[in-house]
Amino acid sequence: MKRHLFDTLLILTISLLFTSLLVTVVGASPADAFHHLLNGSFGSWSKFSRVLNVWIPLTLCSLGLLYAFRTGLWNIGVEGQMLLGAIGTAGVMRLGVDSASPLLFLLLALISGALLGALWALLAGWLKTRGGVHEIFAGLGLNFVAMGIILWLIFGPWKRPGIASMSGTEPFPRELWFPTLEGWRVSPFALTLAVTGILFTAWILNHSRFGLKLKAVGHNPRAVPLYGLSAQTYMLIAIVISGALAGLAGGLQVSSIYHRLIPAISSGYGYLGLLVVMLANFKLLPIPFIALFFAALNVGSIQLPMMMQLDSSLSGVIQGACVLSALLVFGLRRLKAGAKS
Amino acid sequence: MQIELQQIHKRFGDVHVLQGIDLKVDAGTIHGLVGENGAGKSTLMKILTGYLSRSSGEILIEGRRADYTNPAAAAGLGIGMLYQEPQDFPPLTVLDNFIVGRDSHPDNDRGRQQQRLSELGAQVHFQLNGSSILGSLTVGERQQLEFLRLLGRNARLLILDEPTTGISDRQKERLFTALRLIRDQGRTILLVSHKLEEIAALCDRVTILRHGRVAGEETAPFHIPRLLELMFDQAPESFLQTDRHLPGERLICFENVSASGERTGLKACSCRIYQGEVVGLAGLSGSGQGLFLRLAAALQQPLQGSIRFHDSPLAGQDHRAVRKMGGCFLPANRLEEGLITGFSLVDHFTLARGCSRNDAWTEATAAISRFNIRATPNSPAESLSGGNQQRLLLSLIPETASLVLLENPTRGLDVASAKWVWDYLRGHFRNQGALIFSSAELEEIMAVADRILVFFDGRVVRDLPIDQVDYQDVASAMTGN
């Protein structure tokens, strides 16, 4: 426990030092930059609720990835699964315009998003288990295909009347916005969904027999047949859960953030989720916190161009530096352990 | 080059693998090194080639002490080894491979290198096309290239490990001719082989290893039964078992089964195994026994032929089907194939029994005392010693299993543990089904099996009830005689 704390502090120190150096080199004050980052994310309830709006999909994607990682799979395809989730949700919501029961359509839309995300993941899983295509290549390829589909929809069948543009499809009417409370920018329902996801995943992965089986597949796929398990089946199940959670994240982006389908609907949270999970060293407990930290960086950095003429990609630099220094620290730990034994 | 080993000892932890080996190989001779699995041949070769360090002892080259600690230094002294598996680069051409192997003579002139390759080939009558892709060549041709590489590097002591495995008879003849030729040039050859007739045909002198000691030395001409006698312990005077019995119904049935895998594959294997039988699979390691067990467990599918278990065909089924019908497989690589690293005993029982953690805890605790496993229910599998890992695997076999397939089940166990394992297995599973096991030790098979299948080169060459076994006959069948 003490060592974990030490490692975390070490990782943060390395990445902050690196970022400070970078900011100094471009002629700005690191202290100011961090102040604006902090203020931009935690400065007010309104800002913090924006952070939560990033935290929700990022957490869902990271949770999903964790299932795949448990079986030893690198589900790089989360990004595409999120896009498909957004498409599935937008598709059903289009049908719900002017309907008498918008809430029912919202619910169906989210389910459809999760299903489409799951299906997209299943495709990558099949390519892996049946076709022998490495899941990283399958996932990456499917990401590009998903991007193609979304662009085709926005510029084709679902284009705004008269104009087709990168700004996306016609916004949905207010009745189809995900319900929030007065004065809240974040939907308490979406928040509940994410928290439930965390608790459920904690139970599944750490306490259920199903979670044990996923772990067994990840630890030694050669041995699991002897226990009457099919490694491939469990890999498929894991990647499908992964896709469903990513699809749900995509669906929330449509129904509660953008209220329409845009090309950048995923905001790159799929890839960012991979960084979160790696930084968490593939464990569940740190994920919500790291996701919150990353979300705060994303939201906080929006102010940087206005206040300091710094590009908002600074948040990405910090995130990248964190993950790289984490991998370095973990790697050194392993080397040390290896040298000892 | 003359090489002499004096009192070479090698210990791995508590295991004393080589217990004072003395060996002298004269220049310009072909010297054979034989012994059964685990006799210490590989360890001795690795020490000679610098891959392993010795615990104590001396190596003398031309009468002078040689202290080398790595393979490069050994190669520098003129020691070269021809490995059983070619150590080369299949996607590159023959010439590329030849050049890579000659890094002590950096010369990028491909014309000159090609000429050198042809010259060396002409010396020993090997013809290799420099521009062929190595991967398209037969194992025998790749071995010829490796041989030429060694000659090109001026290796004066050539160590050959089972050089005739997987090559054709013609290639074998060519290799032998080449070996005699280079011997007559004054090079020294150390030939390690299980195949006694080859040793007899080629060698001037033979050293026999047994249990890490020199069991004897013989000079040509050789008397093969004498070599066998030195290689293997004497047949046990009396067998453990006394209770003969009549086999029950047919349990598993191989019909003309061929499969690929291990070194030799499995070739046209037919046999029937009945309820109540304990069947021992004998043979040099990798002769098809492991493949036989994996096919029976449906962990692998045959290329040809059919396998029936409890009269239902296994084609298209995986191990889960066999498991449901009461089959169970314990691999020799316990940690790599049988157990899950990072998983505790409780985790293993949860998986194997499909029960709750509480029940699994109860089972694990019971297994620890019943099977005398030195561990706690929460110990991770990799922290267990080899013997305890095997006890854990045994304890995971379902009580109701009707076919227990075991690969080298007592490997690494001491005599008392091995006896305990067999008492348990025979006492428990023989009445309700059959036991099939492979073992590197013929004595073990003779002691516990009712029936023996002898494998050689992927074929079953003997299938006998144990009381009709002639020990010498089986021992020589294992080596292809």
pLDDT digits (tens, 9 = 90+) for B188-241: 999 988 778 888 889 999 999 888 889 888 888 888 888 888 887 654 333 344
Whether the CA torsion A160, A164, A165, A169 is positive or negative: it is positive
- Hey, of B295, B317, B335, B340, which one would you mutate to test binding to chain A, going by the most A CBs within 10 A of its CB? B340
Say if residue A181's pLDDT is above 90: no
Say if residue A262's pLDDT is above 70: yes
pLDDT computed for residue A115 by the predictor: 98
SS3 A74: coil
Average pLDDT over residues B395-399: 91
Mean pLDDT of chain A: 90
pLDDT computed for residue A154 by the predictor: 93
Mean pLDDT of chain B: 85
Q: Please tell me the pTM assigned to this model.
A: 0.74
> What gap in Å lies between CA A327 and CA B97, rounded to an integer?
38
Portion of chain A with pLDDT greater than 90, in percent: 59
Q: Which residues is B436 bridged to in the sheet?
A: B279, B405
Say if residue A158's pLDDT is above 50: yes
Cα A320–chain centre separation: 15
Q: Closest-CA residue in chain A for B353?
A: A227
pLDDT computed for residue B37 by the predictor: 62
B423 and B256 in contact (C-beta within 8 Å)?
no
> What gap in Å lies between CA A191 and CA B224, rounded to an integer?
81
A219–chain B Cβ distance below 8 A for any pair: yes
Distance from CA of A218 to the nearest CA of B (A): 9
pLDDT computed for residue A137 by the predictor: 94
A102 and A172 in contact (C-beta within 8 Å)?
no
Average pLDDT over residues A322-336: 86
Cβ-defined contact of A225 to B341 (cutoff 8 Å) = no
Say if residue A197's pLDDT is above 90: yes
Alpha-carbon distance values, A260 to A51, A61, A146, A174 (Å)? 20, 20, 17, 11
> What gap in Å lies between CA A240 and CA A231, rounded to an integer?
14
A337–chain B Cβ distance below 8 A for any pair: no
Average pLDDT over residues B233-261: 67
Residue B18's closest CA among B190, B213, B207?
B213
pLDDT computed for residue B397 by the predictor: 92
Portion of chain B with pLDDT greater than 90, in percent: 29
Residue B306: which H helix or E strand, with range?
Answer: strand B304-309
Q: Could you tell me the residue range of the domain that residue A61 belongs to?
A: 44-266
Portion of chain B with pLDDT greater than 70, in percent: 93
Average pLDDT over residues B165-169: 68
B280 vs B469, more confident:
B280
In a domain, A248, yes or no: yes
* Confidence at A287, pLDDT banded by 50, 70, 90: very high
pLDDT computed for residue B13 by the predictor: 72
User: How many other C-beta atoms can be found within 10 angstroms of the C-beta atom of residue A79?
Assistant: 26
Residue A239's closest CA among A129, A109, A85?
A129
pLDDT computed for residue B388 by the predictor: 85
CA dihedral B295, B297, B301, B303 (to 10 degrees): 20
B61 and B77 in contact (C-beta within 8 Å)?
yes
Say if residue B245's pLDDT is above 60: no
Cβ-defined contact of A212 to B347 (cutoff 8 Å) = yes
Q: Out of A213, A222, A230, whose CB is closest to B351?
A: A213
Say if residue B102's pLDDT is above 70: no
> What gap in Å lies between CA B477 and CA B481, rounded to an integer?
5
B208 and B34 in contact (C-beta within 8 Å)?
yes
Average pLDDT over residues B138-148: 85
* Confidence at A277, pLDDT banded by 50, 70, 90: very high
> What gap in Å lies between CA A237 and CA A233, rounded to an integer?
6
Read off the amino acid at residue B345: L
Q: Out of B299, B324, B350, whose CB is closest to A225?
A: B299
In a domain, A316, yes or no: no
Cβ-defined contact of A215 to B343 (cutoff 8 Å) = yes
pLDDT digits (tens, 9 = 90+) for A292-309: 999 999 998 888 888 787
A283–chain B Cβ distance below 8 A for any pair: no
Say if residue B363's pLDDT is above 50: yes
Average pLDDT over residues A260-280: 92
Select the highest-mean-pLDDT range: A145-159, A318-332, B173-187, B432-446: A145-159
- Hey, of B293, B318, B351, B358, which one would you mutate to test binding to chain A, going by the most A CBs within 10 A of its CB? B351
In a domain, A279, yes or no: no
A245 and A198 in contact (C-beta within 8 Å)?
no
In a domain, A27, yes or no: no
Under DSSP, the state recorded for B133 is B
Cα B373–chain centre separation: 28
In a domain, A163, yes or no: yes
B435 and B327 in contact (C-beta within 8 Å)?
no
Number of residues assigned to chain A: 341
Distance from CA of A229 to the nearest CA of B (A): 7
Number of residues assigned to chain B: 481
Whether the CA torsion A271, A272, A273, A274 is positive or negative: it is positive
**Number of separate domains in chain A:** 1
> What gap in Å lies between CA B89 and CA B81, rounded to an integer?
17
In a domain, A335, yes or no: no
B165 vs B10, more confident:
B10
Q: Which residues of A touch B336 (CB under 8 A)?
A: 220, 222-223
In a domain, A210, yes or no: yes
Place of tokens 């890999």: A235
CA dihedral B61, B62, B64, B68 (to 10 degrees): -20
Residue A322's closest CA among A294, A303, A301, A302?
A294
pLDDT computed for residue A167 by the predictor: 83
pLDDT digits (tens, 9 = 90+) for B3-61: 999 999 988 777 788 899 999 999 999 999 988 766 788 889 889 998 888 889 999 98
Say which residues have a Cβ less than 8 Å from residue A241's Cβ, sequence separation at least 6.
Answer: A64, A67, A118
pLDDT digits (tens, 9 = 90+) for A18-63: 889 988 888 888 888 888 888 888 888 888 999 999 999 999 999 9
pLDDT computed for residue B239 by the predictor: 37
Q: Out of A212, A223, A230, whose CB is closest to B318?
A: A230
Q: How many residue pairs from chains A and B have C-beta atoms closer than 8 A?
A: 52
